[in-house]
Amino acid sequence: MLVKDFMTPNPITFREGDNLRKAAGVFYDYKIDGAPVVDEQGSIVGIFTKTHLYKAIIQNLDANTSLGELMYRQVLTIEETGSTDVAWEMAWTFGVGRLPVLNGDKKLVGMMARTDLVTAFERKFINTIGQLNTILDSAHSGICAVDKKGIIITFNRTAEKISGISKEFALGKPIAEIVPHTELPLVLETGEAQYNQKLVVNGVTVVANRTPVMSGQQVVGAVVVFQDLTELESISRELSVVQELYQELDAVIESSYDGIAVTDGEGNILKVNQAYARLTGINVQDVLGKNTAELIKEGVISDSATLQALKESKPVSIMQRTRDGRMLLVTGNPIFAENGEQIARIVINCRDLTELNQLKRELGEAVELKERYYSELEALRAQQLEVGPLVARSSEMRKVMELATRIALVDSNVLILGESGVGKEVVAKTIHKLSPRSKGPFIRINCGAIPANLLESELFGYEAGAFSGAKKTGKPGMFELAHGGTLFLDEVGDLPLNLQVKLLSAIQDKEVIRVGGTKAVKVDIRLVAATNRDLEAMVQRGTFRADLFYRLNVVPVLIPPLRQRKEDIIPLLLNFLDKYNEKYGLSKILAPEVVDIFQGYPWPGNVRELENIVERLVVVTPGDTITPENLPGGLLRNLEHSGLRRDRPGGSQQGEAGPGEGAILAELYRQHRSTRKVAELLGINQSTVVRRLKKHNIRVE
């Protein structure tokens, strides 16, 4: 249950400038003994109570004294999406009568008084009782409970069905009147349990278990659980059938010419057939109950398919050498439990490879070929410059991508510099994707988007009870989550000075200590940082530590703004146009004048601004062709300031048409004679190039 469902909304509040006279009047008029103090933005800055008012009177303070001089500023608060259980614990732990409730923007939206907490507790108690009754009614066995006087207090649905007596009639009645011969009064008297007792209820023979309910050394009640004996007999017959099937399966396993063994989910041997003993040269009784790791240590086998199947959670085949030098092909096949996650059994099948040596050689050749292909693919992957949505047609961006490709293969710290929106995160992801850590996690944290008081716990995690509102189990930080992968610190220039020291220590020592903890946790990460600030200037001003700057700035990567790499504008433009056409099921194209305007615009918001404008044009343009009339005001004003006239047929100052989408596609296709190459240059799909060439009536050979 959430706090917002039980809080008192729109509470009475004070401002710091309010005086004692106003506070006394509010307390008297609204019959309250305290209220939060908020600033002009609605954020809570303190709390003023009658205790403060009494102290002011005792101290003979002037009635015009402001509340800001007397209020308590360290206020215990809770978020509206928090649990009422947490609110209850906070209220009783810290002895407070009310908790201010904040929304996600840290604005005051309500108060959680003790009466509200009691209401929430009552609701939870009622829900729990309802859930308990539902569980009891869902039980397949009849359940009847009595208090210490033998009065029925629980009578579930199965008990109704077997006894033929309704719950409403039974509750509150003595057990001896409703269900005679239950012997529950005897259990109440002696305090001794009785198990597997036959009992006739409403003409039905049942098996009953009777147990006392104890409170310390006192018997406070008793419970009888009974089940229809005919059902148990049916189950017994089913068990007999299962036993017969087991015997048949055991005979099938023993008759197999291949060796078969079965282990549990930890590799302990449960079953071995005679063929397995013959092939491996072992005695069945000597290996039953042993772990396969022990057999390897004792030299019985050279390797274990069981252990590999447990490790990889999939079927595994290996070559295994026995003590007498025989080579076996052994396959371990895991069988998962019903939850589909834990391995319950491993079935091992082994076959003599005397007749399969040729297969072994071919398999070895195939493995070598696979490894060679894998190496070649990795080499090609490392050479790829255009990863994901990153377009690198200009020489400037190709240099950036070439540098990113080289440094991806090492673990040096990287500092990515550039204006907002130039694609720093895309470059960081590219470095991670091309690195040996690509299969590990890529964890991003924006150092400027998280409040300073929360940033430390987000970076380094916290232990249970480290601060008010902390999870009881603690929480790992971003460093721990990025273990084995890459940690991307975006907007690192916004990092507070007090955290810069701890970050430097974590980078140097490769270990972190959680907030409220004492134990260091080792972390293996690749650190990539990014900022749009001038860190060197910040170092000179003393707002950024020099030692941290030099630690981060091992390999700097500067991404130029979009206005300095105009060759990328058209590929990016067509890339985003294709993306949002496909996303919204549209087929918008660009008028030549629009392309010309886009090339002349300085793009202060860089690639992010370009993408946002393209999405807006695709969504709001009524026709299939995007024209200058559809452009936002900023672009049109830039058009006028640049001397480009909208009433001309083109977009250049000479009045000639600029290179529209069709012209660009036609020229690129004329140069390269390949739709695939055009698609690579523009960063879009080949099918999109073919479709747009056809739409512009450009003939493709």
CATH number at residue 544: 3.40.50.300
In this predicted model, which residue has the larger pLDDT, 233 or 127?
127
pLDDT category at 428 given cuts 50, 70, 90 is very high
DSSP single-letter state for residue 278: H
Whole-number percent of the chain with pLDDT over 70: 89
DSSP single-letter state for residue 141: S
Return left, alpha or beta for 503; rule: phi > 0 is left, psi -120 to 50 is alpha, else beta: alpha
Over residues 116-140, the mean pLDDT reads 81
Q: At residue 656, does pLDDT exceed 50?
A: no
Q: At residue 184, does pLDDT exceed 60?
A: yes
The CATH number of the domain where 54 resides is what? 3.10.580.10
Residues 19 and 114 in one domain: yes
DSSP single-letter state for residue 157: H
Mean pLDDT score across all residues of the chain: 83
pLDDT category at 182 given cuts 50, 70, 90 is confident
Give me 265's structure tokens.
């989910």
Q: At residue 678, does pLDDT exceed 90?
A: no
The confidence score (pLDDT) of residue 108 equals 87
pLDDT category at 185 given cuts 50, 70, 90 is confident
Decide if 243 is inside a domain: no
Residues 544 and 418 in one domain: yes
Give me 453's structure tokens.
């008081």
Q: At residue 646, does pLDDT exceed 50?
A: no
pLDDT category at 370 given cuts 50, 70, 90 is low
Residues 156 and 195 in one domain: yes
Rounded CA gap, 112 and 83, in Å? Answer: 12
Q: Which residues contact 209 (CB under 8 A, 6 or more apart)?
A: 193, 194, 195, 196, 197, 224, 225, 226
Decide if 298 is inside a domain: yes
- pLDDT digits 0-9 by tens, 375-419: 444 444 444 333 445 677 788 888 999 999 999 999 999 999 999
The CATH number of the domain where 609 resides is what? 1.10.8.60
In this predicted model, which residue has the larger pLDDT, 184 or 657?
184
Residue that is last in its domain, among 89, 121, 153 = 121
pLDDT category at 549 given cuts 50, 70, 90 is very high
Residues 597 and 629 in one domain: yes
Domain residues for 615? 566-695
In this predicted model, which residue has the larger pLDDT, 638 or 461?
461
In this predicted model, which residue has the larger pLDDT, 101 or 340?
101
Residues 507 and 648 in one domain: no
Decide if 389 is inside a domain: no
The confidence score (pLDDT) of residue 486 equals 95
Please report where in the chains the tokens 């659980």 appear, as a residue.
225
Residues 554 and 592 in one domain: no
Q: What is the pTM of this model?
A: 0.43
Residues 111 and 156 in one domain: no
The confidence score (pLDDT) of residue 380 equals 44
Residues 163 and 180 in one domain: yes
Min mean pLDDT across 32-41, 132-141, 217-226, 571-580 is at 132-141
Residues 532 and 643 in one domain: no
SS3 content of the chain, % helix, strand, coil (to 5): 45, 20, 30
- Helix axis angle, 592-600 relative to 661-672, nearest 10°? 90
Decide if 428 is inside a domain: yes
Count of CB atoms within 10 A of residue 685's CB?
14
Q: How many domains does the chain have?
A: 5
Give CA separation, 310 vs 270, 273, 348, in Å.
15, 21, 12
The confidence score (pLDDT) of residue 282 equals 78
Burial 410-425 (b: 16+ CB within 10 A, else e): ebebbbbbbbebbbbb
The confidence score (pLDDT) of residue 151 equals 92
The confidence score (pLDDT) of residue 650 equals 38
Residues 419 and 548 in one domain: yes
Cα dihedral 621, 622, 624, 627 sign? negative
The confidence score (pLDDT) of residue 312 equals 86
Decide if 151 is inside a domain: yes
- The residues that bridge with 47 in the sheet, in sequence order, are 36, 72
pLDDT category at 360 given cuts 50, 70, 90 is low
The confidence score (pLDDT) of residue 235 equals 65
Residue 361 CA from chain centroid, whole number? 45
The CATH number of the domain where 337 resides is what? 3.30.450.20
Length of the chain measured in residues:
701
Decide if 607 is inside a domain: yes
Residues 411 and 549 in one domain: yes
Rounded CA gap, 327 and 322, in Å? Answer: 7
Find the angle CA(39)-CA(44)-CA(50) to the nearest 5 degrees.
Answer: 100
Are 334 and 314 in contact by the 8 Å Cβ rule? The answer is yes
- What ranges in 99-196 are assigned the alpha helix state H? 114-138, 157-163, 167-170, 175-178, 184-190
Strand order in the sheet with 78-79: 8-9, 108-113, 98-102, 78-79
- Helix axis angle, 661-672 relative to 675-682, nearest 10°? 130
Decide if 301 is inside a domain: yes
- pLDDT digits 0-9 by tens, 299-345: 777 778 888 888 888 898 888 777 777 778 888 888 888 777 788 88
- What ranges in 31-103 are assigned the alpha helix state H? 50-58, 84-94
Residue that is last in its domain, among 318, 352, 386 = 352
- pLDDT digits 0-9 by tens, 609-632: 999 999 999 999 998 889 888 888
Residues 572 and 556 in one domain: no
Q: At residue 640, does pLDDT exceed 70?
A: no
Cα dihedral 606, 611, 614, 620 sign? negative
pLDDT category at 446 given cuts 50, 70, 90 is very high
In this predicted model, which residue has the larger pLDDT, 655 or 482?
482
Decide if 316 is inside a domain: yes
Residue that is last in its domain, among 560, 577, 596 = 560
The confidence score (pLDDT) of residue 653 equals 39
